[in-house]
Every structure is written in C-alpha cells, then in structure tokens.
Amino acid sequence: MAGTTNAFEMAQQQFDHVAKLLKLDPQVCELLRWPMREFHFRIPVRMDNSSIRVFDGYRIQHNDARGPCKGGIRFHPAETIDTVRALATWMTWKCAVADIPLGGGKGGVIVDPATLSTSEKERLCRGFIQAIWRNIGPRQDVPAPDVGTTPQMMGWMMDEYSKLIGQYTPGVITGKPLGGGGSLGRTEATGFGVVYTIREAMKHNKMEPGKCTAAIQGFGNVSQYAAIGFTDQLHGKVVCVSYWDRDDRKPYTVSKSEGIDPIFLKSIADQYGSIDKEKARAAGYSIEDGDAWLSKDVDVLIPAALEGQINGESVKKISKQVRMVAEGANGPTTPEADEYLKANNVFILPDFLCNSGGVTVSYFEGVQNDMNYYWSNEEALSRLDTKMTQAFNSVLEMSLSESAFMRDAAYMVAIDRVVKAMQLRGWI
C-alpha cells in the first residue's frame, strides 16, 4: 500500500458516501460497513532447516446474503487485517455488480512467498487450510488465488481440505491448475475482463481502440493479460508497464514509445512479474523510475498493482491526455484522487466492476466442479465477455439515469442487490 492509506477506511468512506445518496437505513449501513465474521490465526510451519516459523493468517467473511463468500488469499509481506477487511468488502460489491450468486470474502498471510522454497510454500498452504477448514467450503466460503499465490498453491489447499473432510471436494477452492479441477480461461480472466470493460467504455466515449494508448502499473497476472488483450483484441498500444524488482527491492517502469510486446516481457519475467531489466534493455526497452507510468501521455491508465496508488498527491502527475482510468487492482484510487479525476472529466472504470472477471470465471469454475463437466476456453471466455458487458451496461445505465460518478453508480447497483437479498432472506 502507498503511504498511510488505510484500505478499509477507504472502503468504508466510499460506502458511506453512496449510502447517503441512497438514503440507506442507518441500521442496514451498520450491518454492511463491517464484516460479518473474522478469523485470525497463527500457522506454524517447519522450515527446510528444521526450524519452526509462525505466520499470521486471516480469513474475513464480509457478507453472504447472495451466496457463499468468495475471495482470494493474498501472500504479501505488508498484509494487514484492514487490507483483508477492505478486500472482503469490495468482493461483496464485486460479486453483486457482476450479478453472480456469491458474497464477499478474503484471506491473507503476512509473508513474502518469494523467500520460501517450494516445499515451505506447500506446508504454509496446507497449514492455512488446517487452521480454517471448518469455516470454508463450497457452500460456505470459497477461496481463490490473489497477489503472491498461484494455481499450484490452490491445488495444495484443495487437496488438504479434501483430506480433512474425507472426500474429493474441488469446489472448495477456485483458480486451481488445469487437470486439477481448474477452468480454462481462469488465468486470463481478470486481465481480459479489464479489456472487455475498456472496450465497452470506449464505445460509450466514442474512442477508437486502435488509435488509443495505455500505461499499466504492475506486471503480475492481471497486468500481463490486460496488456495482451489491449494489444491483441483492441489493437491499441501499451507504451509501458511497471513492476517490482525483487533484486533491487524497488519498482521500475519498462517502456517503449512504439509499444511494448507483452508476450516478450512475460517471457523474461518470473512467476511474480519481476522483469529481467537487462534482457529488456537489450531488446530496446527503456528502464525508468517506478512511478513513470503515471505521467505518460496516454489515453488509458490501468493501475493493476496494489491499493492507494493514485492518491491526492500522485493524481496530479497524470497527463491531461488521459481520458480513462481502468482499475485492474483493488482500491488503487483514493477518494481524494477521485475528486480530482471527476473534476477533470476522466472516465473511471471502478475496481469492483473492472476487475470482476477473475471472480466471474472462478464462479464458472465452481459451477463446472459441481457438474463434473468442463467447458472449452472459448466457451468460458465468451460467457465472461457476456457477463462483463452486462455488468458494465448496468452500471453505465445507473450512472446516466442518476447523473452519478461511475464509482458511485457501481456502488448503487451492488448495494441495492445485496440489500434486496438481505430483505428477501428476512435479515432486515
């Protein structure tokens, strides 16, 4: 996270603002401002050198009125309980705005996974499930990968849960490897979902995709496929991506004025998106400061790293040419930055709309697990495109009818759906 931004305070501030616009009952607000359940636990892991190291883990279940909780597990050294609370809250709105029958959850462990061996990561993953297995399940709470976790880790977690419960239960975890209960299309889902919403927003804003440029923050899974989709599907040009350099412990921006080749950069990056800058430089790329992506003269900015990256100060670096911000990350823009973007007529694709492709195909994965029948890649991505387009149009319609900022409109759609579910179940 950037600076002193508290993600959960930001999530609550965004909610409170829209709750006032909706004139929501204060008692309902109090129910939705906080998670329904929180689990804090400690995970002892025997390391390769035979020592015992204890890790702090969390699982937050924000709201399950619309269905089982859903949300990733993040392995990150700067993880905090408030970050997990915020992400669980946003997951509730994300599932609602995508109109999938799931609620919001999130998990985390305070660890840099790159410092662990493969066997240590496996023991940590299994330890996480051993701590929480009684409180998750296909009809309770379905975890998935997030920052710092991978399909292989999800496979270990699913296997541990299946052992503990005594039966093969692939639907307990999504984002699993292909051949181990995973779905085709899941790897690309979040990044391609970002591209589908950008495409629809460009139609609305009368922008020609093939003539548009983009700058992307981050080079993890979401950024990689957003870059691939922007170039291959929209035929636009991505001029740069930023990434966290694990050797230098600092961010860099890798750029090329004529447009990057995301497939090439992916081929010289490790599993966490850290690019080999010497190979990039040898291929004609420029290596710039980590925040250089923010000030590029482009049409679209895609923040796809961590929370609070576009804040009250950094937003002033954004070029006047930028017409759209597509939030591939969760909570990348603070409320202060929103006011600046609003005043400058920058079109926002809010995070829990824009990056909902991952949870949507995770939902598809759970459906396929239940059927024990699996779709083709084309079928999964076609269904994703349909869902993302419908979600964008529902938010755009709300924005136009209520003369509301796109983020506010997304909240209006999501909150309304969750409140209706709570009413129908007799909770309120």
Among all residues, which ones are annotated catalytic? 106
Angle value at C-alpha 416, between 32 and 395, nearest 5 degrees: 120
CA 263 – CA 241 distance, rounded (Å): 12
Tell me the DSSP string of 233-283: TS--EEEEEEEEETTTTEEEEEE-TT---HHHHHHTB-TT--B-HHHHHHT
User: Other C-beta atoms within 10 Å of 67: how many?
Assistant: 15
The set of residues, in sequence order, having a beta carbon less than 8 Å from that of 10 and lying 6+ positions away, is 86, 307, 308, 331, 334, 335
* Location of structure tokens 């040419």: 321
Helices (H), 313-356: 335-343, 351-354
Q: What three-state secondary structure class fits 44?
A: strand
What are the φ and ψ backbone dihedral angles of 88, each rounded to 5 degrees? Answer: -65, -40
* Location of structure tokens 């239960």: 169
CA 254 – CA 243 distance, rounded (Å): 8
* Location of structure tokens 């636009």: 236
CA 362 – CA 97 distance, rounded (Å): 15
Rg (CA), the chain: 20
The answer to whether 424 and 33 have CB atoms below 8 angstroms apart is: no
The set of residues, in sequence order, having a beta carbon less than 8 Å from that of 69 and lying 6+ positions away, is 61, 62, 63, 88, 91, 102, 103, 104, 105, 140, 141, 142
Helices (H), 57-185: 81-97, 118-132, 151-165
Angle value at C-alpha 87, between 85 and 273, nearest 5 degrees: 130
Q: How long a stretch of residues is the chain?
A: 428
